Amino acid sequence: MSKVIAQLCISLDGCYAGPRDDEPNWFKSVEAPGFFRITRWVTESMAWRDRLQLEGGEANVNDEVIAESFARPGAYVMGRRMFDGGERPWGEEPPFRNPVFVVTHREREKLERQGGTSFTFVTDGLESAIAQAKAAAGEKEVAIAGGGTMIKHALELGLLDELELHHVPVILGDGQRLLDVNIGAREGIELVPERMIHTPEVTHIRYRVEGRAPLVLDSRGGKYEGLGES
Amino acid sequence: MSKVIAQLCISLDGCYAGPRDDEPNWFKSVEAPGFFRITRWVTESMAWRDRLQLEGGEANVNDEVIAESFARPGAYVMGRRMFDGGERPWGEEPPFRNPVFVVTHREREKLERQGGTSFTFVTDGLESAIAQAKAAAGEKEVAIAGGGTMIKHALELGLLDELELHHVPVILGDGQRLLDVNIGAREGIELVPERMIHTPEVTHIRYRVEGRAPLVLDSRGGKYEGLGES
């Protein structure tokens, strides 16, 4: 059975881009500089450059992480905002090379693109999109491609089996946060690290998502027995 | 020359405690459950329990990280809020065993405690407290003990040489953020990982703080030459 996986680049303060901005030219917005910093290691990888039909790049361990992230999914799920932003720049041969299921409120005909990518528009929600992606993925995994809101939503709903975070050693101070999930203040989402690859540019940690669990006080080794009883 | 160092436990979403709360009994506040979760690995360590004169604990690699964090500083700098919260529970033999310089607006006589801890109240700012701590630390390091606001302030002012983050694999969703430093949206604080110790409970990464640097757009490998020019 396919797992539902996602991966994200984040700063040490948990941001994947600068603060949201209404600047119509996104490249001039304050969102862009943080996003570019966090994803710089990706654009330096040979696997990414190859997928985008660019010359050069470095074949290193970060490159292998990217190559693997292209190889594992047999289908993708994507939010409407990410699709809208990508439709034009991705062009006739988008980098997914697999069926993509776009969660949206607007009905639209399926789009077939070159290189194995298709876009199917799903109007009955994320769970339905995941079910359709699982059927299309065969033995491979279903990846939530993004954006952040879609991944967050999958985490909140307990639909994500695995999350790989690419921790980039920079502090942005403020920005869009991928993990500000809407759960109670007395519960957290527990994860279990299953693989760790550390490089100077980025630390890749792949987590199994255990799911929501209550956050409990302990007695601090008996030091604070009865704490909170007063 | 002493380095100025700090260490923090943070969740994957960059929080060190739950959201700020005015509940007078802190143990009943929504701040506490997140803080307890993030620091649970500490209380399970033998070095911490030993320092607090408790029985038990586990001698493992996390324990060594704690033991080292007690061994390296020759003096501490602390915020006023942390001192106020700790003064009573720390008692006659606080766990610092070194001179502590408390940044405050209130003049107060120096306190001498058992076991090598003293508290000196510094009313002319963080830089002065660090200078006094350096003079007291000898060959050892100066640690910013906390709280979060003080560490943030040292980062903003470029006064921190090293930051060790203990990344705990839990998502809190909302809470107090240690790294929401007040810098411009087009600059970040760059760090360079110098040591990484990974365990299932927590990933310890020690970073050298490089300092503020502009966040620049790149051309995404030539794909977006001229981006943002329109």
Q: Residue B88 belongs to what domain range?
A: 4-214
Whether the pLDDT of residue A55 is over 90: the answer is no
Q: Is A48 helix (H, G, I), strand (E, B) or coil?
A: helix
| ipTM for the predicted complex | 0.91
- From chain A, the residues in CB contact with B165 under 8 A are 12
Does A186 reside within a domain? yes
Give the integer Cα–Cα distance in Å for A9 and A39.
Answer: 6
Q: Phi then psi for B79, rounded to 5 degrees?
A: -80, 160
pLDDT digits (tens, 9 = 90+) for A125-152: 999 999 999 999 999 999 999 888 899 9
Residue A230: the pLDDT is 44
Task: Give residues with Cβ within 8 angstroms of A15, minimum separation 6.
Answer: A34, A38, A172, A174, A175, A176, A177, A178
Provide the 10 A C-beta neighbour count for residue B138: 9
Residue A121 DSSP label: E
Q: Is B149 helix (H, G, I), strand (E, B) or coil?
A: helix
Residue A3 DSSP label: P
Report the DSSP beta bridge partners of residue A15.
A177
Q: Name the percent of chain B lying above pLDDT 90.
A: 71
Residue B27 DSSP label: G
Closest by Cβ to B177, choosing from A13, A28, A230: A13
Q: Pick the more confident residue, B51 or B85.
A: B85
Q: Which helix (H) or strand (E) holds A77?
A: strand A73-79
* A10, A12, A182: best to mutate for the B interface, most B CBs within 10 A: A12
Does A222 reside within a domain? no
Residue B155: the pLDDT is 95
Q: Annotate B89-119 with DSSP letters as a single string.
A: HHTTS-TT-SEEEEE-SS--PPEE-GGG-EE
- From chain B, the residues in CB contact with A18 under 8 A are 185-186, 215
pLDDT digits (tens, 9 = 90+) for A171-221: 999 999 989 999 988 999 999 999 999 999 999 999 999 999 999 888 776
Does B229 reside within a domain? no
Does A207 reside within a domain? yes
Residue B223: the pLDDT is 60
Residue with tokens 């120096």: B110
Give the integer Cα–Cα distance in Å for B135 and B46.
Answer: 31
Provide the 10 A C-beta neighbour count for residue A104: 17
Residue B217: the pLDDT is 87
Residue B221: the pLDDT is 64
Does A127 reside within a domain? yes
Residue A222: the pLDDT is 63
Give the integer Cα–Cα distance in Å for A117 and A136.
Answer: 12
Which of A60-74, B96-110, B201-215 is predicted least confidently?
Answer: A60-74
Cis amide leading into B18 (omega within 30): no
Q: How confident is the model at residue B50 (pLDDT cuts 50, 70, 90)?
A: confident
Alpha-carbon distance B163 to nearest alpha carbon in chain A (angstroms): 11
Give the integer Cα–Cα distance in Å for A180 and A188.
Answer: 11
Q: Which helix (H) or strand (E) holds B165?
A: strand B162-168
Residue B6: the pLDDT is 97
The tally of domains found in chain A comes to 1
Residue with tokens 């952040």: A148
Provide the 10 A C-beta neighbour count for residue B23: 12
pLDDT digits (tens, 9 = 90+) for B86-102: 898 889 999 999 999 99
Residue B228: the pLDDT is 52
Give the integer Cα–Cα distance in Å for B166 and A82.
Answer: 32
Residue A224: the pLDDT is 61
Residue closest to A223 by CA, chosen among B196, B50, B96, B203: B50
Does A39 reside within a domain? yes
Give the integer Cα–Cα distance in Å for B33 and A186.
Answer: 6
Whether the pLDDT of residue B226 is over 60: the answer is no
Give the integer Cα–Cα distance in Å for B201 and B188.
Answer: 29
Provide the 10 A C-beta neighbour count for residue B25: 11
Residue B94: the pLDDT is 93
Q: Phi then psi for B57, rounded to 5 degrees?
A: 100, 165
What's the full length of chain B, in residues?
230
Domain holding B82: CATH number? Answer: 3.40.430.10
Structure tokens at A77: 């799920």
Average pLDDT, chain A: 91
Average pLDDT over residues A62-67: 90
Residue A57: the pLDDT is 73
Residue B230: the pLDDT is 44
Does A154 reside within a domain? yes
Residue A218: the pLDDT is 80
Task: Give residues with Cβ within 8 angstroms of B104, minimum separation 6.
Answer: B80, B83, B121, B122, B123
Residue B2 DSSP label: P
Report the DSSP beta bridge partners of residue B190.
A170, B211
**Hey, which residues 9-68 in chain B have their CB within 8 Å of chain A?**
11-14, 18-19, 25, 27-28, 30, 32-34, 36-37, 40, 43, 48-49, 52, 54, 56-57
Average pLDDT, chain B: 91
Q: Name the percent of chain A lying above pLDDT 70.
A: 96
> Quick one: residue A116, left, alpha or beta (phi over 0 = left, psi -120 to 50 = alpha)?
left
Average pLDDT over residues B113-134: 97
pLDDT digits (tens, 9 = 90+) for B184-225: 889 999 999 999 999 999 999 999 999 999 998 887 766 665
Taking an 8 Å cut-off on Cβ atoms, the answer to whether A228 and B185 are in contact is no
A-B Cβ pairs (cutoff 8 Å, strict): 191
**Hey, which residues 59-98 in chain A have their CB within 8 Å of chain B?**
none
Whether the pLDDT of residue A48 is over 70: the answer is yes
